[in-house]
Chain A
């Protein structure tokens, strides 16, 4: 099956700093989503981005499908950005409904 690798696994930022999270995947995808899992466990949709670039406030994402990676940018980080960020992909070759998740990046923003 498709492999998803996220880096870095852990990240500590001072409030106000910027960061880039990376997601590499091993095969063609028909779905790519970025999620933020808050401390209560809920997965919040950030972006649906199988290709291209999107922005939403302080967050933006870029997926280069031909090179099999996606980047999530967080600017001017806030303590509320803390949590785990997951990249999840759907394998276009498998015709599957399954989203395969990476292991996540745990972000801690300190005041």
Chain B
């Protein structure tokens, strides 16, 4: 009964080569989130969508973009990955907003060579 699905689970890219990570959900939740988690650190929110409204955190680099073509899917695009972008990328959803439980996918571990 997978609820939040992320593909691929592991992604290797080259320095500067664009990469796209995907997330899908079967919960029909309005809100979808992307978090970045570097080694031995806590997850950090990059941005979120409330329905089709995109909300970027103030310190999210311009190198990171996102798309949400429909309720079920959300994509994270890294336009020119640097070595510092190597991390675990976690997708999460919640039903309505900040006061609701967030459910996380298994994550995509990105390696930049």
A residues apposed to B, CB below 8 Å: 30-31, 33, 35, 40-45, 48, 50, 86, 88, 90, 95-99, 101-104
In the complex with contacts A98-B45, A103-B42, A90-B98 CB distance below 8 A? yes
- Distance (whole angstroms) from the CB of B16 to the closest CB of chain A: 25
Contact mask for chain B residues 42-65; partner A; CB cutoff 8 A; 1 contact, 0 none: 111100101000010100000000
Q: How far is the CA of A35 from the CA of B92 in the complex (A)?
A: 13
- Which residue of chain B is the closest to A6 with respect to CB atoms? B42
Known: A31-B98, A43-B90, A86-B42. A97 touches B106 (CB 8 A): no
Let me know if B102 and A99 touch, CB within 8 A: yes
**Residues of chain A within 8 A of B48, CB atoms compared:** 97-98
Taking a contact as CB atoms under 8 Å apart, the answer to whether A97 and B31 are in contact is: yes
User: Contact: B103 with A41, CB < 8 Å?
Assistant: no
**Interface of B toward A, CB cutoff 8 Å:** 31, 33, 37, 41-45, 48, 50, 55, 57, 88, 90, 92, 94, 97-107, 109
With known contacts A86-B42, A97-B33, A98-B45, A42–B100 Cβ distance under 8 A? no
Q: Interface of chain A, helix or strand or loop or mixed?
A: strand
Q: How far is the CA of A18 from the CA of B88 in the complex (A)?
A: 31
B43 touches A33 (CB 8 A): no
The 9 lowest CB-CB distance pairs between A and B, nearest first, are A101-B42, A43-B104, A48-B101, A97-B98, A42-B106, A30-B99, A90-B98, A41-B107, A98-B45
Closest A residue to B108 using CB positions: A41
Interface centre among B50, B88, B102 (most CB of A within 10 A): B102
Asked if A97 and B97 sit within 8 Å, CB to CB, the answer is: yes
